[in-house]
Amino acid sequence: MRVRHGVRAVMLDDDDRILLCRMRIAPPGTAVWITPGGGVEDGESPLEALRRELLEETGFVLDGGLPPHVWRREAPAPPELTSHDAVADDFYLVRTTAFTPRGTFSDEALAAENITGFRWWALDEIAGYRGPDLFAPRDLATPLRTLIETGVPAKPVRVGGSAR
């Protein structure tokens, strides 16, 4: 089985709002809100990949070592990821003050990655959302609530699959 390994940042600000990227997915017109991050490239450590992805997408500079590993998601690969059968994402908690995301990627490069915007979301906004967009993990509000209320777990919590 060909598995795409990824790293994602659960970026929480001082008000426990989470930074999410809005990505277009198939079918056309569908979008998903997901934490910043992406695939680990050949020869990269998870820390190197997380630093690169955060800088490219949001402009955030991750200093120090690998942040706490809080969640793990394994799911079938989405249809557009034709070179892999499955994805395995590790989510790391990054505490920060709120900032306006502006990474090293140009608008064109973000569009090529299907990223159409960023937003800081409060937990209650996610839990009460009834719009057309999806979240990944699907039930993001549940593990996010637990993380905010109880802190870093002793071992990574398995979270839901894809947004579809």
Q: For residue range 25-36, list pLDDT tens digits in order.
A: 877 778 999 999
- Residue 137, preceding bond cis, omega within 30 degrees? yes
Listed in sequence order, the residues at least 6 apart from 76 whose beta carbon sits closer than 8 Å to its beta carbon are 85, 86, 87, 161, 162
Dihedral sign for Cα 13, 15, 18, 19, please: negative
Q: Yes or no: say if 83 and 71 are a contact pair by the CB < 8 Å rule.
A: no
The stretch 116-131 carries a mean pLDDT of 96
Question: Which pLDDT tens digit goes with each residue over 38-83?
Answer: 999 999 999 999 999 999 999 999 999 999 999 999 988 777 677 8
Distance from C-alpha of 88 to C-alpha of 23, rounded to nearest angstrom = 18
Its pTM surpasses 0.95? no
Distance from C-alpha of 112 to C-alpha of 38, rounded to nearest angstrom = 13
What is the phi/psi pair of residue 98, to 5°?
-60, 145
